[in-house]
Every structure is written in C-alpha cells, then in structure tokens.
Chains A and B, each alone.
Chain A
Amino acid sequence: MENNPLQLSVSEFVELTNQTLEYAYPTVSVVGEVTEFRISQGKWVSFKLKDAGAVVGCFLTTYQLRMPVEDGMKLLVVANPRLNNKGFFSLNVRSMKPVGEGSIKKGFELLKAKLEAEGLFAPERKRRLPRVPQRVAVISSTESAGYADFCKIINERWGGMVVEVAHTQVQGVPAPDQMIRAIRYFNSLEVLPEVLVIVRGGGSAEDLMAFNDEPLARAIAASRIPTLVGVGHEIDTSLADMVADVRAATPTNAAEILVPDRNEIIRAAHQQASSLGNQLTQAIDEYSARTREQLSAAFRRIQEKLNEHFERLAALRLATAQLNPENVLKRGYALLRGDIKPGATVEIETLYEIAEAEVKNVRSK
C-alpha cells in the first residue's frame, strides 16, 4: 500500500474522509466542556468542546439551540462528524444537553433568567382554570405511572368529562418536540379544550430535563388553551411548570386541581339540605315564640281593660251608695212626705220609725 498510495484530489480526499466517517461513525455522542461559544448573524452557533487532552469544534443552527449555553458548561452532544471543504474538522450537532449537576443547573438558571426577563412567568399572564371543565386535553406518556395516577384521581373525583390524550414521550431528546406538536395539535382544534394538562411522574434531574426545554416552555406559554402542568415530585421545579397558568406539584395534584371532588360536592349538597332543615326548625321555634309573645301581650291588654272597668264599676258603686236615702236617715235625718200646708197631714220617716203629723203653721225661710 505504501508503495502505491491512493492518489486523490483535495476534494476527493475530503469526500472520502466524510464517506468513511459516515460509514464508521454516522453519529457520535461526545461529552466535553464548552469553550469559545459564539452565535453569528443570529443564525449560526459554534463552540468548542474540550477535555484535558483535546479540543473539537462544534456547529449547529440557532434553531437547534434549545437552551442557553455558555462557556464552562459540560455538554453531551449528539453529532455527525464532518470534515469541511476548508479543512476544518467539526461536529455537526444534532442535539445536545447539559451533563452533570452543575451544568444542568446552570442551563436551567440561564434559561429561567431569560424567560423571566421576557415576562413569561408574570402572575398577570396566568389564566384561571374553569371550576368544572367538560373537555380536557392531556399530554403525557400513556404508559407512565404519572399518567395512570392522574387518570385514577380524575376518575375518582369527577365524571362526565371528555378527556383527549396525546401520547408523547416525556423524557429524552425527542420528548420536547413531541410535546410541542401535541400542544399545537390541541390549539389547532376547531373547538378548543377548556384546559391543557401536561403530566409526568417523578424522575432524575436528567429525566425531567425535557421540561426545561426553551421551545417547549415557549409553546406552553403561547398556548391559547389555559395550561396546567404537573411534572415530577413536589420538590421538582421545571420551566414548563413556571410558564404554565397553573402549576401542580405532581400528576396526582394536577388531577386534584383540575376537578372538584364529587364526594365533597355530594357531602356539601346534603349539608346544605340539612342546614335548611335546621333553619326551618329555628324558624318554627321563632314563630312559636313570637306567637306566644303576641298571645301573652293580648292577654295582658285584656286584663288591663278588665281592671279599668272594674275600677270604674267600684267608683260607680261608691257614688250610688252615697245617694241611697237610707244612708241619710242613718245620719239622723228624716224623710217627709205630703203637702206642706197648714192643717195637712204629713208622713215623717226616720231610720227606724214612720210617724204621721199635722202641719200647724207654714212660713217662708
């Protein structure tokens, strides 16, 4: 071979190298620390990945950039290795994600600050969910435990809803784009669902990274349908949660927020009816008391009137008694009957006796 080396033009060499790379390593995953991160003309992104022993250039478009990146972050890039016509070897990045707690946190904080500055978390943007929705859209993996928990709780708590479910991946590189497509699908329906719910159970920080994807966060924020997001456990906070109209701590909590508990409503309905019974009893008691009071007042009034009449009667009795002629006789007076003229006979009545007498003389007083 050395005696008869392959003779190629530069273009042929580049092409052959790329064919060989494409055959041997069509896609590689490379982990390294970002350096010389740049965005040119708002379209092209370039940076270098380095470790202690080597550096390799990386290239992608801003469209593929799903999170803010800065120098020093540790990334895993999935890329196609290429040698370009200018002789520079680079990795054409297809996807990338931060690795290691520090970089994941850094990426999250950078994107959070960016979205917050745009007002995507502002409380005034938050819409209220209907109290009892009748048509609900759900985005989740129908195979996940979180989705099963969500369905179990909504079925226990409430009924009568039409729930349309878009089955998507909820972790891994394809997950954000699938969820974005599902959000667009529901938002394009002629009759919009009343609530759009996105749920996923707990997982590691890396599992939940799909929910810290910038395009996904923007799609949730732009949804015409009010959103309810319940991802991970109570302690997990994702950017998807933060841009949602309502954040639930878990899928179970999302179900609890979404619908009222029918048992509570039934209990409340019976309590209301029973409270009316109490009010009725109270009203009857009050009515009886009022009637008793009115009767008692009427009786008092009659009594007063009777007393007045009795007093008046007693006074009349006294006056009548004083006019009785017998009482005058008792005081020593006498009653005289007959004509008072000389020679006439008159009758004189005292208390105990009646005498007849002749009038001898009459003179004027």
Chain B
Amino acid sequence: MSDLNKEVKGKTVQDKLSELSELVAWFQSPAFKLEDAFDKFKQSEALAEEIEKDLTKLKNDIQVVKKKFDTED
C-alpha cells in the first residue's frame, strides 16, 4: 500500500479529498441548512489544512529492480 492510502488520523488523503468534495456538494444540495453550514465550513477548512499537510509530506519510493535485462534469462 502506498503512503497515499495510509491512514493519517484515521483517514487517507483520498478519503479527505472525497470528503471535501462531499461538503462542497452538500452546500449546493437541497439538504443545505444554515444551522449546520458553519460547522461544515469549519470542517472543510480543517480538511484543506490536513490535505496540505499530508500531501506535503508524501514521498515516492523509487526502486531500481535488481534484474538485469541485457541478456535473456
């Protein structure tokens, strides 16, 4: 499993991106309620911060395979 799917505070970056999209969709949907909107907005700000932190620290794992390709096996 790559770092992208590792759980950071119980959620992956992908989860957080999806959650942020869901919040955006909620604001456009008939389910929108002003009473809940402020909390959802604070939640989206926190998610954006976490996404930034998570993405900034992700590193690629580049491995050169040991097999040689200069001759047939």
Q: Does A134 contact B (CB under 8 A)?
A: yes
Cβ-defined contact, B56 with A276, below 8 A: no
Interface residues of B in 26-73 (CB under 8 A from A): 27, 32, 34, 37-38, 40-41, 44-45, 47-48, 51-52, 55-65, 67, 69-70, 72
B64 proximity list for chain A (CB < 8 A) = 142, 165-167
Residue in contact with B51 in the complex, picked from A159, A166, A269, CB distance below 8 Å: A269
Restricting to A253-281, which residues have a CB under 8 Å from any CB of B? Answer: 262, 265-266, 269-270, 272-273, 275-277, 279-280
Interface footprint category on B: 35 or more
Known: A154-B60, A185-B65. A276 touches B23 (CB 8 A): yes
Interface string of B1-29 (1 = CB under 8 A from A): 11111100000011001001101100100
A96→B41 CA distance, assembly (Å) = 67
Does B55 contact A262, Cβ atoms closer than 8 Å? Answer: yes
- Complex interface: chain B residues within 8 A of A163 (CB): 60-63
Contacts of B52 in A (CB 8 A): 266, 269-270
Q: Quick check: is A158 within 8 A (CB to CB) of the other chain?
A: yes
CB distance from A266 to the nearest CB of B (A): 5
Across the interface, which residues of B come within 8 angstroms of A160, CB to CB?
2-6, 13, 58-60
A181 touches B72 (CB 8 A): yes
In the complex, which residues of chain A have a beta carbon less than 8 angstroms from the beta carbon of B70?
Answer: 168-169, 174, 178
Is A182 an interface residue when CB atoms closer than 8 A count as contact? yes
